[in-house]
Amino acid sequence: MSSLKDMLGWVRGLEPVKRGAESEIRLGFFMGIPAIFKLRVPKPYMHPRLADILISQRTRKEAKVIAYALKHGIPAPRLLAVLPSIGLIVMEYVQGVTLKDYAYRDPRGALLYSRIAGSILGRLHEVGVAHGDPTTSNYIVSSDGGLKLIDYGLSDFTEDVEDKAVDVHLYRRAVESTHASIAAGMFEAFLEGYKGVLGGEALKVIERAEEIRLRGRYVEERRRSVWRALG
């Protein structure tokens, strides 16, 4: 293609998969390989120059985290191309289903995969990365039977216990909100996998995650009390 502008136009013509607040996900082929094209989009209220800078920075950071995770053996999508100037990351397309959908089909099998999900997050935390959104929608049960963790858009390099605890809390909240009947078993299996990687270090994170959960319950109860009083 003759220019980045042409590339951008071509990407926008690919099959849309998902549109979020900050990015578009499209499906196509890159050099003959099935690929996911993640294109960050500017927010309409933001100054164009500032938007360009932030898009470039966040694209570089996400690609850096993915490359780092892959280097340390984390099952993440392979990077195929990174173009920060237009906010584009091209990754391998992981064929399969989300763990969220898989759990509806095979609740017993979901317990096994939930344990693997915990070990994956544990390995990510072990090398100093918080994922930022490790829900069952971002774990993919691939067609070959493996499990991969995708979407590193909110990821960051950190050793902060709170950041890692938020990850654990988000997984728990995800299974409780979508798989109530097996949520306890899925989360228990997840913690087994997580502790299997981090050992004693996991306990501090799990304790903090429980504190976060209780803080959330307190805030929600206070909100309900206010509405009851107003009503």
Torsion region of 42: left, alpha or beta (phi above 0 gives left; psi -120 to 50 gives alpha): beta
Q: What is the pLDDT of residues 69-102, one digit of tens each?
A: 999 999 999 999 999 999 999 999 999 999 999 9
Q: What is the pLDDT of residues 161-190, one digit of tens each?
A: 999 999 999 999 999 999 999 999 999 999
Place of tokens 């009851």: 228
The full set of domains in the chain, from first to last, is: 4-92 (3.30.200.20), 96-227 (1.10.510.10)
pLDDT of residue 2: 53
Place of tokens 């584009």: 88
Classified as helix, coil or strand, 178 is helix
Q: What is the pLDDT of residues 20-31, one digit of tens each?
A: 778 899 999 999
The reply to whether 133 belongs to the active site is: yes
Contact by Cβ (8 Å): 127, 154:
no
Catalytic residue among 106, 133, 144, 163: 133
pLDDT exceeds cutoff 50 at 33: yes
